Amino acid sequence: MTRAIFVISLVLKTIISATHEANIKVQVEQGWLQGEELELVTGDGKYFSFKGIPYAAPPVGKLRFKAPQPAIPWEGVRNSTQHGSKCIQFDIFTNKLVPASEDCLFLNVYTSNLNPKVPLPVMFFIHGGGFESDSGNVDNYGPDFLVGNGVVLVTINYRLEVLGFLSLDTEAVPGNAGMKDQVTALKWVKKNIEKFGGDPENITVFGQSAGSVSTVLHMVSPMSRGLFKRAISMSGVPSCDWAMAYQPKRRAFVLGKQLGFDTTDPENLLEFLQNVSAEKLTGVSPNVLASEEVSNILKMFHFAPVVERDFGQEHFLTENPEKLLMEGKVSQVDLMIGHSTSEGIGDLILFEDTFLKTYSQYAELLVPTKIQVKKNPEEVFKLSDMIRKHYFGTKSISKDTLQEFLDYINDSAYGYDIYRYINLLSKVLKRNTYVYKFTAVSTRNIYGKIGQKYNFTVAGHLDDTAYIFDPKHANLNIDKKSKEYKIVTQTVALFTNFAKYGNPTPDKSLGVTWTPFNNNSEAYMDIGEDLTPGQNLDADVAAFWKSVFDKAGLEF
Ligand SMILES: *[C@@H]1O[C@H](CO)[C@@H](O)[C@H](O)[C@H]1NC(C)=O
Ligand SMILES: *[C@@H]1O[C@H](CO)[C@@H](O)[C@H](O)[C@H]1NC(C)=O
Ligand SMILES: *[C@@H]1O[C@H](CO)[C@@H](O)[C@H](O)[C@H]1NC(C)=O
Ligand SMILES: *[C@@H]1O[C@H](CO)[C@@H](O)[C@H](O)[C@H]1NC(C)=O
Ligand SMILES: *[C@@H]1O[C@H](CO)[C@@H](O)[C@H](O)[C@H]1NC(C)=O
Ligand SMILES: *[C@@H]1O[C@H](CO)[C@@H](O)[C@H](O)[C@H]1NC(C)=O
C-alpha cells in the first residue's frame, strides 16, 4: 500500500516535472528554446533563464569585421541553459586570452513570468570593458535583483577590439560592427521579447563605461531610433578621451605592419586581416601617438566606435555625437545618467613610480588628448601648467600626491565629460533627465577596493554594477540584515522604477523624491547607504575645466 502510493507519487512527480520543463520552452523567430527555472540568490522565489541565444549569424570568415547578418534558424529545440561563447578578448585585469570564440553573438534573457497578465518592462544591458573585454554572462551580471523586481532582463555579447571596431574607412569596413551587433540584438529583443513576457514598447537600454558610451550613442544613432523608450548611462559618454576611436584607418595599417604585413592598400589589408587567426589579431598595441605608450587606458582605446563615412551603407553614426546633440538630433527618451565617486580608483594599479614620474616630466600628458591633438605644443604646455597648478600646486606628481592625481583622473577622464553631456542632453531632451552620483561603499565594492591599500575607501568605476547585478564569480554577501542588502534594495528600486515609469521615485516608498535635472534645479541624487538629494554636481570641476577649454578655444 505505502509502496504503491510511493510509486504513484514518484510517477506523478516525474510527470509534473516533465510538464514543468516542457513549459519552460519559448518559440522565437528562429526556433524553439529550452530554458530552465533557477532560484533567486535572495531566496525570494524563482525565475526563468534562457542563455546563449544567437541573435545574428556567426561573424566569421568573410563576415569578419562586417556588419552582422541575420541569425540562422535551427530545427528542434535549442538547449538554452548555458551561455554562448564570449567574444575573443584579453582579460584587462590578468592580460591573458580568455576562453572565447569569434562566434559570440549571443544574448541572455531572464524573466520572472513567461505569461504575465500585463507584459513586463524590459531592461537591455550593455556591458563595459573598454570595447575590448567582458561579456553579458552571469559571472559579472547575475540577473537576480532585477528579475526579482518585475522586469525582464536581457544581457548581450557584442564583438570587441579589432574584431568589433576595425575601420578602414571603406564601404567594405566602414567601422562600428560591434555597435551594429548591439543594434541587431536590440531589434531581436523588440521582435521576440513578448514571448518571454516582456513589453516591446517598454524597453530601457542601460550600460556601464563603454556600455554607457554605447547607450548614449544609441540615443543619437539613426539605426537605433524607435527601439527603446528609456536610457541609463553609467560612467561614460562619447566625449571621454577613451570613448571614440582616434585615427582608426591609420591605426589599422599600423596593426597590419605590427603583424608583419606592410601595405597601403585597404583591400589587401582586409584580406590579410581576415586571414590571420582571431587570437593573433587581439591584444596587439597599434599605437599612433607616443602618449599611448604611456597609458592606453587613460589616453585612448585602440578600437572603439567611429564616425563612419556614408557610403550608402546602413550606418550607425556619420556625425560627431556632440554635433548631433547640439542640432537636437536625439531620440526622445527618458534619461538617467551619472557616475561613481572616484572613477579613477581602479586605475591605481597603473600608478607606479615610473608612470607617475613620466606624468610629472612630460607636461602634455596632463592635457586631455582631444585638446592635445588640436593645439600646437606651446599652447599645450600653457594648458598643462594651468592644470598642474590647479591640481598639484607646486608639488610634483608622485606617490605622495596620489589623492591629487586621482582627483585629476576622476575629473579629466570622466567627470567633466559626463557633466557636459548631462547639460547637453537635458537641454535637447523633452523628457526628464535624472542625474546621480554613486557613493555607496560596502563589501560589494569589489573593483574599488584596491584603493583601501592606500586608504581610499570610495565607490569606483564598476562598483555600482554589483548593486544592480549579482556577480556570480564573487560570491557576495546578501544577508537580508546587512548594509549590503539595504543598498542593493534601494538601488535596484531606483533603476527598476525608472525602467517601469520613467521616474526613479514615483511614490514615497523610498522616503525621498528625486527631482529631475534642469538648468534651474541642477538636481541630483547621491546613491549611497542613504539616498541624499543634492544640487550642482561637479560644479567646481566644471568651472575649472570650462576655463581650460575656453583657453584652448574649443567647445568639445
Ligand atoms: C542542456 O545542456 C546542459 C549542459 O550541457 C545539460 O546538462 C542538460 O541536460 C541539457 N538539457 C537538455 C534538455 O538537453
Ligand atoms: C590568405 O591565405 C591564403 C591561404 O592560406 C593565402 O593563399 C593568401 O596568400 C593569404 N592572403 C594574404 C593577403 O595573406
Ligand atoms: C576622486 O577620487 C578621490 C580619491 O578616491 C576622491 O577623494 C574624490 O572625492 C574624487 N573626486 C570626485 C569629484 O568625486
Ligand atoms: C593608512 O592609514 C593608516 C591609519 O591611519 C596608516 O597607519 C597607514 O600608514 C596609511 N597607509 C597609507 C598607504 O597611507
Ligand atoms: C511600462 O511598464 C509599467 C510597469 O508594468 C507600466 O505601468 C507602464 O504603463 C508601461 N509603460 C508603457 C508605455 O507601456
Ligand atoms: C535653461 O533652459 C531653458 C529651457 O530649455 C532655456 O530657455 C534657457 O535658455 C536655459 N538657461 C540657461 C542659462 O542655459
We report the CATH number of the domain holding residue 469 as 3.40.50.1820
Beta strands in 147-213 (DSSP E): 152-156, 198-208
Same domain, 178 and 261: yes
* 131 located within any domain: yes
SS3 525: strand
Pocket of ligand 1 contains residue 82 by CB under 6 Å? yes
Same domain, 401 and 327: no
**What is the reported pLDDT for 556?**
87
Same domain, 323 and 175: yes
Distances (CA, A) of 165 to 56, 243, 257, 382: 17, 12, 18, 35
* 374 located within any domain: no
Locate all alpha helices (DSSP H) within 337-401, ordered by sequence: 353-361, 369-372, 377-392
Q: Which of 163, 191, 196, 200 is nearest to 178 (CA)?
A: 163
User: What is the helix (H) or strand (E) element at residue 187, kind and residue range?
Assistant: helix 177-192
Same domain, 51 and 161: yes
Same domain, 271 and 350: no
Q: Is position 461 annotated as part of the catalytic site?
A: yes
| % of the chain exceeding 70 in pLDDT | 96
Same domain, 305 and 393: no
Residue 506: give the domain boundaries: 340-357+383-543
Residues with CB under 6 A from ligand 2: 271-272, 275
Task: Say what the pTM is.
Answer: 0.95
383 vs 399: CA distance, rounded Å: 23
**What is the reported pLDDT for 531?**
98
* 369 located within any domain: no
CA 18 to chain centre: 39
Residue stretches of the chain with pLDDT short of 70: 1-22, 296-297
Pocket of ligand 5 contains residue 201 by CB under 6 Å? yes
8 vs 16: CA distance, rounded Å: 12
Same domain, 346 and 265: no
Same domain, 417 and 319: no
**What is the reported pLDDT for 11?**
53
520 vs 370: CA distance, rounded Å: 30
Q: Which of 209, 235, 360, 384 is catalytic?
A: 209
**What is the reported pLDDT for 388?**
98
Angle at 530 between CA 528 and CA 534, to 5 degrees: 80
299: left (phi over 0), alpha (psi -120 to 50) or beta: alpha
Same domain, 196 and 304: yes
Query: What's the total number of domains in the chain?
Result: 2
How many whole angstroms from 498 Cα to the centroid of ligand 5?
Answer: 10
Same domain, 303 and 446: no
**pLDDT tens, 242-268?**
999 999 999 999 999 999 999 999 999
Pocket of ligand 1 contains residue 81 by CB under 6 Å? yes
In the chain, DSSP finds a helix count (H) and a strand count (E) of 19, 14
SS3 503: coil
Same domain, 299 and 421: no
**What is the reported pLDDT for 1?**
42
336 vs 212: CA distance, rounded Å: 11
* 323 located within any domain: yes
* 363 located within any domain: no
Same domain, 221 and 136: yes
* 4 located within any domain: no
Which residues make Cβ contacts (< 8 Å) with residue 298, sequence separation at least 6? Answer: 241, 242, 347, 350, 409, 413
Q: Which of 102, 132, 161, 343 is catalytic?
A: 343
Q: Is position 343 annotated as part of the catalytic site?
A: yes
* 1 located within any domain: no
* 477 located within any domain: yes
**pLDDT tens, 301-326?**
899 999 999 999 999 999 999 999 99
Give the dihedral sign, CA 541/543/549/554: positive
Q: Among 50, 79, 80, 83, name the best residue to mutate to test ligand 1's pocket (greatest count of ligand atoms within 8 A of Cβ).
A: 79
